[in-house]
Structure 1
Amino acid sequence: MTIPGLVADRARRYPDAVAIAGPAGRFTFAELAEEVAGVTRAAMASGLEVGDRVGIWAPNSVRWIVTALGMLGAGVTLVPISTRLRGAETAEVLARSNAKAVCTVQQFLGRDYPAMLAESGRPLPDLEHLILLDDARGEGDADWDISSWEGFLAPGTVIDPQSTRDRTAEVEPDSVSDILFTSGTTGAPKGVLATHRQTLEVFSQWADAVTLRPRDRYLLVNPFSHTFGYKAGILACLLRTATMVPMERFDTTAALRLIESERITVLAGPPTLFTDLLAADHDNYMLGSLRLAGTGGATVPAELVRRIRDDLRVPYVFTAYGLTESIGVVSICPPDAPAELVAGTVGKGLQGSEIRILDRDGKPVEPGEPGEITVRGPNVMLGYLDDPEATAAAIDADGFLHTGDVGTLDEEGYLRITDRLKDMFIVGGFNAYPAEIERVLLEHPDIRDVAVIGIPNDRLGEVGRAVVVPADGATADPAAIIEWSRSRLAGYKVPREVVLVDDLPRNAGGKVLKQRLRDRA
């Protein structure tokens, strides 16, 4: 099956079931399919062809859902982009993916998104259309065509329904459905290729493992630009005929109100989300509808799992582990497991997949012994976009994806994460890559050398610390460096601390000894 096929199937079999609810509106699965078809027709009318790439750089919304599903129906490959990225970062993703169109909003959190993109100065010769998903008029001085939402949809009304069905039929299960970009250890963005077939297979298993079921009401707070929001949110709800309740951005009070008013049954997010809910006046809200909570993406203390169950009164809690290259899922700890197991492990691998722990020589280790986590199965990406060398480095000749994480696998098949081979750190559920941040900081005139590490943070799990060697004769100001970086990096990538040093510790090969810097932290 394909994702467009799934949308059509749900409309046919469950036409009156509620697909989307909440303040933004209510749609049955039949109504959702009609809205999606309108976007498919509009995409065809705008000249988008099967296999073209389209970016979506916008906050969570009903229109994000409709646009993504409609573009997929036109055979387009989605390129979801985080709203946290600035213009230059987004332009890099659009250029690397040769995107023909980008769907965005005029304003979000005080930022003008089309203006940010135009001001990046990055040539985007393939970009033909900028489509606004909000109600802005669609005017601007950029080199590409800017369409309002209504202006985008209008030309599609002349496309006949049979042509739309014919186009959707061209989408094959093994067609590339999306390209999710994730920075590698070199700091350059890498596009991860996934197909319709493997995406639906992986998240069908995910939905079964976490016990998502029909008529669940799932509060979607995770960004749709991320696997957690898009695939473990939108697509999982479609797979299980659950109701989506999208939230533009997480706000503790607003979330508590929605849980009460919409009778939310499922809530998933990074540990910080639940920490914030527990710190709020949650006793003033009726949260008894909640039956399932899910978290991951960072260290999950056993005490947090206990408090979700006892204080928020959510009977079932699950954790999971994955990375973009594993289609978002390597393992899942079931929601009925004891708190110590949910917090202390990341569960078992998917059916049809195989997890191996390898030593430094690439040989399997004994149960309980640490080594690099590798996985083989349907949850391994096709590869990196236009990067065969990086693909060969990530996926070995036997088809195992090397995660770069260190863990142990016990005799019962439960996986534990013990360390990271990569330097990446996780800020409130968002992956931050030191090499990428360092590359930007080295553009600062007062910085001669820099190394970025993750340091513990009570709320976010980890935040960045930049260890800076000032340029000769410069009087580097830590506060000024942090402020300078805010306009060039997504918020979670901005270092929270800048430490000035005379030199960085390096080995004989010139590599920075980051563990030594971490030890000092």
Structure 2
Amino acid sequence: MRNQGIGSWPARRARMSPKRTAVVHDGREWTYAQLYDRVVRLARVFAERGVRSGDRVAYLGPNHPTFLETLFATGTLGAIFVPLNTRLAAPELAYILRDSGARLLVHAPTHAEIAAELGSGAEPVDVLDLESYERLLAARPADPLDEPVADGELSMIMYTSGTTGQPKGVALSHANIVWNSLNLLIDVDLAGDEVTLVNAPMFHVAALNQTVLPTILKGGTLVLDSAFDPVRTLELIARHRVTYLFGVPVMFQAIASAPGWADADLSSVRSMICGGAPVPESLIAIYTARGLTFLQGYGLTESAPGALFLRAQDGPSKIGSAGTPCFFTDVRVVRPDGTDAGPGEPGEVLLHGPSLMTCYWHKPEETAAVRSGDGWLRTGDIAVADEDGYLTIRDRIKDMIISGGENIYPAEVEDVLYRHPAVAECAVIGVPDQRWGEVGRAVVVLRAGAGAEPDELLDFLAGKIAKYKIPKSVVFVDTLPRSGSGKVLKGPLRASVGR
């Protein structure tokens, strides 16, 4: 087989385990043989519409089997997959299609209106809806395709959330994806009988590369849910005997607060991983109290994404840490002058390894700003390493608060605030102060039916963190603004309550 990219994975799986269930969605099941059959037919549809090696194919829609089929059919032809964030508005999506130079847009019925708008815009793109998709698949032969694809060629372009300026396209090669999958499989003992629940959006790197692709590599079963719902999550785990799932902290918080949590049948779950944002220790304790293996890690789109991992055996003694480097990843924590920070000393996280992105798509200056000549990637994240080399992520450099010359890392303060029984969600931002230059402000969402006064929350922090780290004010809100991956958007938060 000449195709060494991930587009060949359905063919390779179909020859190894054709009768295993590959995908479950909305009451239907597809075996690996059926998945491969549909991928080959779709690749022929794409080829007839002019898609060639190196072209870009975009997908817009929620978690659905067609997302996977589009990904693999694109890879079968040596083309490049561009997953689109369904939360973006039409102008934002139009920018990504234009920036990536997408030749074809496949979309779900839920996004027909916005897809039609994109398809007829100033720079129109060929649009394929799912009704035409199914009709065209049925009329195409399932004869094997074997386009030569090298592992160093680009596999996908995943656009960052664009919290500052326009989003950047992170270009990941087939090799990047393979090395990341190997890192994950070394850290999490996925098995051939794995049943993986996927309800975090697959257009984000963690859901796709930390759960979906490693599961397919091992020949497990994917249970796709189009949208996250905490009550349905508990139902799906029990119904399908789910063994593995991923979520961001806000998802796991919602699951643990859902009706039925106390009596939910979670006996099938072998491991769950949490990432995408700093994980409060109080949240980890909730899951470990249920006897669950709650793992966490750290990474970013630019590293495909795995970089650090806290393994099961280290969880109890290093709770709250993001762990140590993944097997094929090297990590440094450095001072502003580039020298290595000592244990307990905050510094920027640098990464090196074969899973790191090829580049920012068509942005050589932005790429050079984060990649050194010898291949190290600047993450923009602050961490502290302990004496054993376990890293704790403090915050983004841009979110750090400098108050009277002291550095305050909001995530550290938020972690303590989460321990208060009335706090459902929280975020700490910096606000201007005449005396100190900048001070902290806690923005808090209270639990349903709970009450708390600002002074009560500030008094709760006293003695748990240094006095200078305690915010000077508290603002209560109904919700926190979040990105599609669940990260709190502190830019909009500062704009709304930071004055």
Same fold (TM over 0.5): yes
Deviation at residue 32 of structure 1 after TM alignment: 1.4
Say yes or no: does 1:291 pair with 2:307.
Answer: no
Q: Confirm whether residue 328 of structure 1 aligns to residue 334 of structure 2.
A: no
Separation (CA, whole Å) in 1 of partners of 2:328 and 2:71: 28
Equivalent in 182, 195, 199 of residue 221 of structure 1: 199
Structure 2 residue ranges without an equivalent (≥5): 401-409, 415-426, 430-439, 448-477
Match of 2:225 in 1: 247
CA distance in 2, matches of 1:379, 1:206: 11
2:241 counterpart (258, 263, 283): 263
For 1:356 and 1:199, the matched residues in 2 are separated by 22
- Give the conservation status (yes or no) of the 8 Å contact 2:183–2:306: no
* Distance in structure 2 (CA, Å) of the matches to 1:68 and 1:499: 38
* 1:44-83 equivalence runs, <5 A: 44-83=47-86
Structure 1 residue corresponding to 2:134, chosen from 150, 155, 173: 150
Q: Is the 8 A contact 1:374 1:400 kept in 2?
A: yes
Shift of 1:113: 2.7
**Which residue in the other structure is 1:203 paired with?**
181
Q: 1:473 matched to which residue of 2?
A: none
One of 323, 329, 335 as aligned partner of 1:347: 323
Instruction: Tell me how far apart the structure 2 counterparts of residues 328 and 188 of structure 1 sit (CA, whole Å).
Output: 21
Give the drift of 1:156: 3.6
Amino acid at match of 1:372: E
1:31 to 25, 29, 34: 34
Deviation for aligned residue 1:176: 0.1
Task: Give the Cα–Cα distance (whole angstroms) in 1 for the partners of residues 26 and 115 of structure 2.
Answer: 26
Aligned to 1:180: 158
SS of structure 2 residue aligned to 1:357: strand
Give CA deviations for 1:450-508 in whole Å, capped at 9, x if unaligned: xxx99644589xxxxxxxxxxxxxxxxxxxxx9xx99xxx99769468658xxxxxxxx
- Amino acid across the alignment from 1:337: D
Change (3 A) 1:11 1:51: same
Q: Is the 8 A contact 1:326 1:379 kept in 2?
A: yes
Q: 1:320 to 1:357 in 2, by over 3 A?
A: same
Task: Tell me if structure 2 keeps the 8 A contact 1:84–1:491.
Answer: no
Q: Does 1:235 align with 2:213?
A: yes
SS in 1 for 2:313: coil
Q: CA deviation at 1:267?
A: 1.7
Deviation (angstroms), 1:16: 1.9
Write the distance in 2 (CA, Å) between the matches of 1:186 and 1:122: 25
- Secondary structure of 1:356's counterpart equals strand
Question: Aligned partners of 1:88 and 1:35: how far apart in 2?
Answer: 32
Gaps of at least 5 residues in structure 1 are: 136-147, 435-452, 461-481, 501-516
* Residue matched to 1:84: 87
**Matched AA of 1:131:** L
CA RMSD of aligned residues (A): 3.1
Moved more, 274-283 or 60-69: 274-283
| Maintained 8 Å contact 2:383/2:391 | yes
In structure 1, what is the equivalent of residue 346 of structure 2? 370
- Deviation per CA, 1:231-265, whole angstroms, max 9, x where unpaired? 11221111222210000000122211111111111
SS in 2 for 1:344: coil
Matched with 2:374 is 398
Which residue number corresponds to residue 2 of structure 1?
A: 5
DSSP 3-state at the match of 1:261: helix
Q: Are 2:7 and 2:74, in contact at CA under 8 Å, matched by a contact in 1?
A: no
2:16: which partner in 1?
A: 13
2-structure distance, mates of 1:361, 1:244: 46
- When normalised by structure 2's length, the TM-score is 0.78
Select which of 339, 342, 357 maps to 2:333.
Answer: 357
Question: CA separation in 1, counterparts of 2:267 and 2:189?
Answer: 18
Partner residue in 1 for 2:251: 273
- Counterpart of 2:115? 114
Correspondence for 1:102 among 105, 117, 121: 105
Alpha-carbon distance in 1 for matches of 2:55, 2:85: 20
The 8 Å contact of residues 116 and 127 in structure 2, kept in 1 or not, is answered as no
Cα distance between partner residues in 1 of 2:216 and 2:446: 33
Residue 122 of structure 2 aligns with which residue? Answer: 123
How many residues end up aligned between the 2 structures?
425
CA contact (8 A) 2:352 2:376 kept: yes
Look up the match of 2:143: 161
Give CA-to-partner distance per residue, 1:277-306, whole Å, 9 cap, x none: 111222444221112111011221222112
Percentage identity across paired residues of the two chains: 31
Does the C-alpha gap of structure 1 residues 459 and 265 become closer, same or farther in structure 2, counting only changes over 3 Å?
A: farther
Cα 1:457–1:292, aligned 2, differ >3 Å: closer, same or farther?
Answer: farther
Amino acid at match of 1:207: L
**Cα deviation, residue 394, structure 1:** 0.5
Shift of 1:184: 5.5
- Report what 2:294 is aligned to: 317
- Which one-letter code corresponds to 2:165 in the other structure? G
**In the alignment, is residue 379 of structure 1 matched against residue 378 of structure 2?**
no
Contact 1:319 1:346 in 2 (8 A): yes
Distance 1:93 1:149 in 2: 23
Per-residue displacement from partner, 1:85-123 (whole Å, max 9, x unpaired)? 111110010000000011112325xx83325536xx852
In 2, Cα distance between the equivalents of 1:248 and 1:115?
Answer: 21
CA distance in 1, matches of 2:381, 2:350: 8
Greater mean deviation of Cα atoms: 253-262 or 242-251: 253-262
Contact 1:42 1:154 in 2 (8 A): no
Report Cα offsets for 1:420-475 as digits up to 9, x if no partner: 11349999xxxx9x9xxxxxxxxxxxxxxxxxx99644589xxxxxxxxxxxxxxx
8 Å CA contact 2:180, 2:304 repeated in 1 = yes
Instruction: Read off the aligned partner of 1:318 and give its amino acid letter.
Output: L
Check 1:411–1:47 CA distance in 2 against 1; reply closer, same or farther (3 A cut).
same
Equivalent residue, structure 1, for 2:129: 132
Aligned to 1:408: 384
> Deviation digits for residues 320-362 of structure 1, max 9, x if unmatched?
1111111111111112323452x42111112232211111111
1:422 equivalenced with 2:422 (yes/no): no
Deviation at 1:219, TM superposition (A): 0.4
Distance 1:358 1:329 in 2: 19
Counterpart secondary structure, 1:63: helix
Q: 1:202 Cα deviation (Å)?
A: 1.1
Normalized against structure 1, the TM-score is what? 0.75
CA distance in 1, matches of 2:243, 2:69: 23
1:439-458 equivalence runs, <5 A: 456-458=443-445
Conserved in 2, the CA contact under 8 Å of 1:358 and 1:371?
yes
SS in 1 for 2:208: helix
Q: 1:31 to 1:82 in 2, by over 3 A?
A: same
